[in-house]
Amino acid sequence: MSATIRKVFAVDIHSEGIEAYKAWHRAGGPPQAVTDSIRADDIRDLEIWLVGDRMMLIMEQGPNFDPATKAQRDTNNPDVQAWDALMRTFQKPLPFGPEGSTWLEMARIYSLSEQP
């Protein structure tokens, strides 16, 4: 099996939308076209975690993942665009992020596997 790369992202969520956001992300909740789009770009696994009003997205990318290609495909996919627009209504940008941003990539600062 090819090596994967793990990326972690964060965004806040409007507290009044948490239950709806969770419902949209239940098994079978996202439109199939969105799930297919994720898988087609060699994203091997994707999880969203929640604590309070902060969410973390953990993404395992395969070796064929290319963020520029994914962005272009997503821009040209009306189902993905509609999903993104809906999800943005729940998401609250992090206060230190650029204008208009949602999920911000986090920097890994520790790994147990690198310890002696």
pLDDT higher than threshold 80 for residue 9: yes
Tokens 């409007």 sit on residue? 14
pLDDT higher than threshold 90 for residue 1: no
Q: Return the pLDDT at 2.
A: 63
Confidence of residue 53 (pLDDT cuts 50, 70, 90): very high
Q: Which residues are catalytic?
A: 14
Closest CA to 10 of 65, 49, 52: 49
User: What pTM does this model have?
Assistant: 0.91
Render pLDDT for 93-103 as a digit per residue (tens, 0 to 9).
999 999 999 99
Distances (CA, A) of 27 to 13, 32, 47, 85, 95: 20, 11, 12, 20, 30
pLDDT higher than threshold 80 for residue 74: yes
Which structural domains are found in the chain, ordered by start?
5-106 (3.30.70.1090)
